[in-house]
Amino acid sequence: MAQEQSLLSFMSEQSGKLLEQTLEHIGLTFISLFIAVIIGLPLGILISRRKKLSGIVLGTAGVLQTIPSIALLGFMIPLLGIGPKPAIVALLLYALLPIIRNTYTGITGVDATIREAAKGIGMSSTQVLFKVELPLAMPVIFAGIRTATVINVGVATLAAYIAAGGLGEFIFGGISLNNTNMILAGAIPAALLAIIFDFLLSRLQKMNVKKLRLAYISFPFIILILSSFYLLPVAYSSKLLAGFTPEFMGRTDGYLGLKKQYGLNIRTVVISDAVMYEALYHKKLDVISGYSTDGRLKAYDLITLKDDKGIFPPYYAAPVVRMDILDKYPELEQALNMLAGRINDSVMTDLNYRADHLKQSPEQIARNFLMAQGLWKEPRNGKKGIVRIGTKIFGEQYILGNMYSMLIKGYTDLDVATKTGLGGTKICFDAMTNDQIDMYPEYTGTGLLVILKTDARIANALIKNNDSVYNYVNDNFEKQYHIKWLKPIGFNNAYALMMRRQQSVELGVNSISGLKKYLEKR
Amino acid sequence: MIKLEQVSKDFGKVKAVDNISFEVREGETMVLLGTSGCGKTTTLRMLNRLIEPTSGKITINGKDILTQPQEQLRRNIGYVLQHNSLFPHYTVAENIAAVPQLLKWDKQKIVTRSEELMHKVNLAASYLTSYPRELSGGQQQRVNIARALAANPDVLLMDEPFGALDTITRASIRKEFSELDELKRKTIVMVTHDVQEAFEMGDEICLMNEGKIMQKGKPSELLFHPANDFVRSFFSSSYLQLVLKTVQINDIWDALEETVTVAQTAVSIQYNEPLWQVMERLMKGNAGNSLIQVRNKQGATKTIGREALYNAISNYKAK
């Protein structure tokens, strides 16, 4: 009950944003649907006329359909940048297959006798198409449009990854922030949209023929109106454009802190960390919320802005481990602590650079590093037990996960199972508390603010001192979750605002206060 | 009216229609008869250019059909398929109006014509707003005929028009249509595999096999003077029935002995009615003692009973 009430209060608190995201979501869905109909319907008609083409066209549309949505969005960035354009194109590609296929099936499914009769009484082939084939195929075509709509409502949540807005902003923000209300505030409206549109279109599909004509005529207009929702929210502007991750947007040590402590007022879009560096590099964005040890900092010649008011807490990385597995296999702790203090900021940036830019595999990077440090040992192939290592879904975590795996195999008789690529802090931590993984690399600041949700007053007092943050999270994790923080690895992967080096020099901005001053000029 | 000269149609190496020629005179009904795959439907579809002939010449009203635009040609030829060829998304009225609309008739003329046709094919005008699926198979076929007649074409092509109907409906609809004035004036080419139907509807029958014409002529010619064994065996299984449907009172007049001389019967039978019909009438009466008055071509009358008819038939056959 308490959960429900707080969800409702969250939604009413955020009602403005919720409405904006919902409208964006509807707009995205229907703009892409509209274009998909404009392209898909004639294509479907064409291949019903020239059946030889049907294999190629349906095959191509089918292949497009199988590309994972995130990957498709990724492909779009070099071509179309970030924002609505690539999102609409990606959605449109997903919507194409059901529309083309159902148009084709609908038309070829018209009874041969009826087509013959139409020709036989003297209709031209255009008349046969518009007077007989299309009207009879309409229910099937509408079923295709219906499928495409539901697919689009779903895939449109991913638009938040490339700064195109929509309800995905809440969903992914909620996942990274461990905020169930935020997830539901995005997920429930998205699900409702899917159900409502599916229902309305099913009614349209089953309507009788007379009413249908009116419906078919009004359908394009309705789509156009719904599409235009997307254009409404784009009203404000500023000189620079910032792309922040959903997580950063909702964190007190993120955008909220920037607004409160610095009074920073900048136009923002929400974007996935997987693509924001590239978007910054390609000048689609001017400021991003990066991680200070990210390899792309080096690869794309970016600089971090100085956090002169100290709002970003330290993010020292350390393995967090379930205490019951440490009790069971005491030798584990020693093996994991072998990495303690070995990797500083610049070493980690370099390792990430190898992964992100030189495209070396995390495993290779991990082995080379351990060998150079004289830590590498042949696996013992022990059968004593299994340690389950989890990692979050970015390069640094993959590298660390591999190092820990090698250390455990080389120094203990334990075997390792890895569960890599867990999408966000919440998912990783939930996996841990639900006994799905035994350990993963975590960052002190994340533990403090995201997992423990430490009160701002206490947190602000703590973040001035690295050790006090570490001690605080370790104590509280042990007490609350029976999880232990082992020794820090050494580097501090803190949040940082980043810009292109060239632009930073041109504008003379090298700190967050400097950025604020620049934005307030004129 | 319709004339085919040495027409062939090849599908690849298969000769679907092999060098056939025939003529259909104005107002007559030509039935293309044969088993499936004999080329009868291909022949029919060449008449409205749904299929183009490989070689040969087809003229309708003296005009080579290949010189006219396809759509224009088809709009002037009525086309009847099986009853499920109605446009399911059109009402009965819209179905009937299909061709007149293509010909851009004005609205009022279309409405008047539709109502007239509904009356002619014995359908209540209230069905005009119904959709085909709301009609029975027989009713649908009436609409189908009305659609074909709507623009008043001189020529009508029928492709197994009663094929999908059950036997009883088929017989009654067929009977009704063979009495329909408007149909009687048309030049009709009809395709069927049903021998009974061919004999009832056809002024002439063209029996086809493997793309060739086996024999063409009046039904009685095919029956009593088969050109070859194929024709003979084709009719053998229903021979007696066909004879009764073909032979008319006039044909057996001499062999017919009067049962009673003083006749006061209600029904009088014309000279050109087939024996089948006479027997049907006789069956309706009480067993054994019903009488019927028949008439020959010159107008003489005889009153006969069942026995007299049977005797005359067996005498006639013996000839």
- A117 contacts B87? CB cut-off 8 A: yes
pLDDT of residue A1: 39
ipTM higher than the 0.95 cut: no
Q: How far apart are CA B240 and CA B295, in angstroms?
A: 23
> What torsion, rounded to 10 degrees, do the Cα atoms A122, A124, A125, A129 define?
-90
Check residue A166 and report its DSSP letter.
Answer: S
Nearest CA in chain A to B100: A121
Instruction: Find where tokens 């446009």 sit.
Output: B87
Check residue B39 and report its DSSP letter.
Answer: S
- As a whole number, the mean pLDDT across chain A is 86
Selection from A117, A112, A119, A109 nearest residue A141 by Cα: A109
Report B:177-196 residues touching A (Cβ under 8 A).
none
Check residue A133 and report its DSSP letter.
Answer: I
Bridge partners, B3 (sequence order): B23, B59
**What single string gives the DSSP state of each residue in A454-467?**
--HHHHHHHTT-HH
- Report the residue from B73, B85, B131 with minimal CB separation from A113: B85
pLDDT over 90 at A439, yes or no: yes
pLDDT over 50 at A233, yes or no: no
Residues 6+ apart with CB under 8 A from A12: none
Least confident of A326-335, A510-519, B172-181: B172-181
Alpha carbon of B248 to those of A52, A470, B6, B267, B272: distances in Å? 58, 116, 35, 17, 5
Residues 6+ apart with CB under 8 A from A7: A180, A181, A184, A185
CB of B71 within 8 Å of a chain A CB? The answer is yes
pLDDT of residue B130: 93
CB of A136 within 8 Å of a chain B CB? The answer is yes
Q: Which residues of A touch B81 (CB under 8 A)?
A: 113, 116-117, 120
Percent of chain A's residues with pLDDT above 90: 36
* Alpha-carbon gap: B271 to the closest alpha carbon of chain A (Å): 39
Nearest CA in chain B to A132: B87
Nearest CA in chain A to B75: A122
3-class secondary-structure state, position B59:
strand
- B73 contacts A122? CB cut-off 8 A: yes
- Report the residue from B76, B81, B88 with minimal CB separation from A136: B88
- B89 contacts A120? CB cut-off 8 A: no
Check residue B274 and report its DSSP letter.
Answer: B
The conformational region for residue B181 under phi > 0 = left, psi -120 to 50 = alpha, else beta, is: alpha
Least confident of A307-311, A334-338, A462-466, B45-49: A462-466
3-class secondary-structure state, position B204:
strand
Interface test with B, best of A116, A121, A131 (most B CBs within 10 A): A121
CB of A118 within 8 Å of a chain B CB? The answer is yes
pLDDT of residue B286: 59
Q: How far apart are CA A397 and CA A390, in angstroms?
A: 9
Q: Which band of pLDDT confidence, cut at 50, 70 and 90, is reported for residue A262?
A: confident
pLDDT over 60 at A232, yes or no: no
Least confident of A142-156, A204-218, B287-301: A204-218
Q: Which band of pLDDT confidence, cut at 50, 70 and 90, is reported for residue A20?
A: confident
- A120 contacts B81? CB cut-off 8 A: yes
A99-120: pLDDT as tens digits: 999 999 999 999 998 999 999 9
Bridge partners, A492 (sequence order): A316
How buried is residue B284: exposed, middle or buried, by Cβ count under 10 Å (0-12/13-18/19+)?
exposed
What is the token pair recorded at B59? 């003229």
pLDDT of residue B91: 92
Residues 6+ apart with CB under 8 A from A51: A108
Spell B268-283 as b/e; 16+ CB within 10 A means b: ebebeebbbebbebbe
pLDDT of residue A213: 66
pLDDT of residue B162: 85
CB of B87 within 8 Å of a chain A CB? The answer is yes
Kindly report the number of other CB atoms within 10 A of residue B261's CB atom: 7
Spell A184-195 as b/e; 16+ CB within 10 A means b: bbbbebbeebbe
pLDDT over 60 at A2, yes or no: no
What is the token pair recorded at B297? 């071509």
- A118 contacts B71? CB cut-off 8 A: no
Q: How far apart are CA B257 and CA B303, in angstroms?
A: 9
Residue A297 CA, chain-centre distance (Å), reads 20
* Alpha-carbon gap: B70 to the closest alpha carbon of chain A (Å): 7
CB of A123 within 8 Å of a chain B CB? The answer is yes
Q: How far apart are CA B314 and CA A268, in angstroms?
A: 105
- A121 contacts B74? CB cut-off 8 A: yes
A337-389: pLDDT as tens digits: 999 999 998 899 899 889 888 888 999 999 999 999 999 999 998 888 999 99
Q: Which residues of A touch B147 (CB under 8 A)?
A: 121
> What torsion, rounded to 10 degrees, do the Cα atoms A426, A429, A435, A436 define?
70
Percent of chain A's residues with pLDDT above 70: 95
- Report the residue from B82, B102, B157 with minimal CB separation from A113: B82
* Alpha-carbon gap: B175 to the closest alpha carbon of chain A (Å): 24
H or E element in which residue A356 lies: helix A345-356
Nearest CA in chain B to A111: B85
- Report the residue from B75, B85, B86 with minimal CB separation from A122: B75
* Alpha-carbon gap: A205 to the closest alpha carbon of chain B (Å): 14
A266-281: pLDDT as tens digits: 888 888 877 888 888 8
Selection from A407, A399, A420, A396 nearest residue A336 by Cα: A407
The number of CA neighbours under 13 Å toward the Cβ of A389 is 24
Sign of CA dihedral B95, B96, B102, B105: negative
CB of A115 within 8 Å of a chain B CB? The answer is no
* Alpha-carbon gap: A114 to the closest alpha carbon of chain B (Å): 5
Instruction: Find where tokens 């139907």 sit.
Output: B197
Q: How far apart are CA A122 and CA A119, in angstroms?
A: 5
pLDDT of residue A365: 94
Q: Which residues of B touch A122 (CB under 8 A)?
A: 70-76, 99, 102
Q: Which residues of A touch B98 (CB under 8 A)?
A: 121
Residues 6+ apart with CB under 8 A from A13: none
Contact call for residues B159 and B171 (beta carbons, < 8 A): no
Q: Which band of pLDDT confidence, cut at 50, 70 and 90, is reported for residue A3?
A: very low
Contact call for residues A473 and A483 (beta carbons, < 8 A): no
Q: How far apart are CA A295 and CA A422, in angstroms?
A: 20
Residues of chain B with pLDDT under 70: 83, 260-267, 285-289, 317-319
Q: Which residues of A touch B74 (CB under 8 A)?
A: 119-122
Count contacts between A and B (CB, < 8 Å).
56
What is the token pair recorded at B212? 């060739």
Query: Is 0.80 topped by the overall pTM?
Result: no
Contact call for residues A107 and A49 (beta carbons, < 8 A): no
Q: How far apart are CA B242 and CA B195, in angstroms?
A: 8
Least confident of A65-79, A91-105, A288-302, B34-48: A65-79
- A132 contacts B88? CB cut-off 8 A: no
Q: How far apart are CA A212 and CA A334, in angstroms?
A: 73
- A121 contacts B81? CB cut-off 8 A: no
pLDDT of residue A236: 44
